[in-house]
Amino acid sequence: MNNMQRVSLNAVVVAALLSLGACSGMSSQGQSAAIGAGVGAVGGAVLTGGSAAGTVGGAVVGGVIGHEVAK
């Protein structure tokens, strides 16, 4: 992974962690979906080498899994 991809990935991880503070007023199911989407986006980005499609796909899959787990 080149330096620019590493910086981009770190920025995404930091943004995801900071945005978790916005989950305080959400329902448990909403929090789980948001956390799942964040983790999925990071996982998709890592697995596909920073591909936009992989990041978005990971976010979608993670959000759905987080939503369903909280039921």
pTM of the model: 0.67
Residues 6+ positions from 51 with CB-CB distance below 8 Å? 44, 45
pLDDT tens by residue, the chain, 71 residues:
677 777 878 787 777 777 766 667 788 888 889 889 988 988 888 888 888 889 899 999 999 999 999 87
pLDDT at position 65, please?
Answer: 94
pLDDT at position 20, please?
Answer: 67
Phi first, then psi: what are they for 67, rounded to 5°? -65, -45
pLDDT at position 13, please?
Answer: 77
The rounded distance, in Å, linking the Cα atoms of 6 and 28 is 32
